[in-house]
Amino acid sequence: MPLAQTREIAAAARLENVRYAIRDLACVADEVSLQGHRILPLNIGDPNVFDFVTPAHLIEAVYKAMKDGKNGYAPSAGIKEALDAIRGEAVRKGITNIRDVFVTSGVSESVDICLTALLNPGEDILTPCPDYPLYSAVLAKLDIGLNTYYLNEEDGWQPDLDDLKRKITPRTRGIVLINPNNPTGSVCSRRMLEDIAELARQHNLVIFADEIYDKLILDDDQHISLAAVAPDVPIVTFGGLSKNYLAPGWRIGWGVVSGDAAMVKPYVEGIGKLLRARLCANHPEQYAIKPALEGPQDHLIEVRKKLRARRDLTVNWCNSTPRVSCVSPRGAFYAYPRLDIPEGDDAFVKELLLQKHVLVVHGSGFGQKPGTKHFRIVFLPDEKTLASAYAAIGDFMRERYR
């Protein structure tokens, strides 16, 4: 008889640093739901959970592709018509010196591939604090230590340029800029983009410009692509269908590499190796990229109208509630209120969920300056749902912090 294994199969030690606060809280929410309570979800940025619908012409394009037999493997970089459409969209955004375009399984895969293709052991990249936790998760998987720069809450959550400068070391290879930002909803000024680009020039850095929310600008501002103000700097601009085109479950994202041709050539070749190694992104869904970028944009008018009203409701509640304050978000669909409470924000969100069944995400899950406490609100739900959630949070705070 063969001997049975008796040793536990341990996970890799580097996974100890992998955190994903947005999803990790869902385990507690599941327990609350099993007790028969209805959860008010303000935690995950999925428009399709609420009253937002994927544009019909995109669904029709994918359905037609499936019926036409586009169900096998696609080219590793993506189908030609999608790549051409992405390149055209980049040009419309003012991006020149385009050296490569590729399609991935969501921006998440773009980030994973691009960081993996760049970083050697002992090197680092600068990531914002607070930031979307995908970046720290990928870096932990690569066994790369975090090197974070602060966003300045007193300056509308713009990057703290002085802190950014201080954090650059001889081992730093790049800078991540999420613009519009998740979780704060901030949008970078042109001057800030120019200053960050100049830092990259001086220190020979790659910039990763995560612009997945670039069409969800809530006021009269215009989104400025970082690559448009710095055509000479090596920049990878990320975009996708998930947010602007309300199709997160299709997992379609892309990257656009721009900059000096000789500088980026070896890096582009490295990205290509990884694209080929994982075969391809979802094939039929790629046929929605051209109609999305080149077709009707009517849905965005209604989307932005809804988001503006829900943003205003959220900010008004925050700034009229004791112990809460909030910088008004200018893009995306997130608010990042500050808390003045005697306990950690992780305890706050857990007890809020258990007692009032409202699910938000703790600021410590995204990163924040020492001594500050925050939580992230996703204001995608309709106004009635938001008002109910905010009333419950207000009751919770009055009862808990008398």
- What does the alpha-carbon distance between residue 57 and residue 67 come to, in Å, rounded to a whole number? 15
Q: 172-178 and 124-129: which strand pairing?
A: parallel
B/e letters for 233-258, b = 16+ CB within 10 Å, e = fewer, are bbbbbbbbbbbbbbbbebbbbbbbbb
Closest CA to 156 of 359, 332, 330, 394: 330
Tell me: do 265 and 350 sit in the same domain.
Answer: no
Over range 42-58, report the average pLDDT. Answer: 95
CATH code (residue 362)? 3.90.1150.10
Tell me: do 249 and 233 sit in the same domain.
Answer: yes
Other C-beta atoms within 10 Å of 354: how many?
A: 14
Contact 356, 393 (CB under 8 A): yes
**Boundary-marking domain end, from 273, 294, 315:** 294
Confidence of residue 290 (pLDDT cuts 50, 70, 90): very high
Task: Report pTM.
Answer: 0.94
Tell me: do 122 and 233 sit in the same domain.
Answer: yes
Tell me: do 158 and 253 sit in the same domain.
Answer: yes
* Residue 2 domain flag: no
Is 350 a residue whose pLDDT tops 70?
yes
Tell me: do 195 and 286 sit in the same domain.
Answer: yes
Q: Could you give the percent of the chain with pLDDT greater than 70?
A: 97
Strands (E), 200-357: 206-210, 235-240, 253-258, 324-325, 334-335, 338-339
* Residue 44 domain flag: yes
* Residue 4 domain flag: no
Q: Which domain holds residue 328?
A: 13-53+298-400
* Residue 5 domain flag: no
Tell me: do 260 and 302 sit in the same domain.
Answer: no
Q: How many domains does the chain have?
A: 2
Is 24 a residue whose pLDDT tops 70?
no
**Boundary-marking domain end, from 294, 328, 351:** 294
Tell me: do 63 and 44 sit in the same domain.
Answer: no
Tell me: do 94 and 43 sit in the same domain.
Answer: no
**Boundary-marking domain end, from 235, 265, 294:** 294
Is 395 a residue whose pLDDT tops 90?
yes
Angle at 280 between CA 275 and CA 281, to 5 degrees: 110
Alpha-carbon distance values, 127 to 11, 134, 176, 289, 369 (Å): 26, 11, 5, 29, 14
Tell me: do 125 and 18 sit in the same domain.
Answer: no
Over range 272-295, report the average pLDDT. Answer: 98
Tell me: do 86 and 31 sit in the same domain.
Answer: no
Tell me: do 176 and 304 sit in the same domain.
Answer: no
Average pLDDT, the chain: 95
pLDDT, tens digit, 9 for 90 and up, residues 220-229: 888 999 999 9
* Residue 339 domain flag: yes
pLDDT, tens digit, 9 for 90 and up, residues 354-370: 999 999 999 999 999 99
CATH code (residue 263)? 3.40.640.10
- What does the alpha-carbon distance between residue 85 and residue 290 come to, in Å, rounded to a whole number? 5
Indicate the helix (H) or strand (E) that contains 358: strand 358-359
* Residue 6 domain flag: no
Tell me: do 233 and 305 sit in the same domain.
Answer: no
- What does the alpha-carbon distance between residue 262 and residue 254 come to, in Å, rounded to a whole number? 22
Q: What is the DSSP letter of 287?
A: G
Over range 318-340, report the average pLDDT. Answer: 97
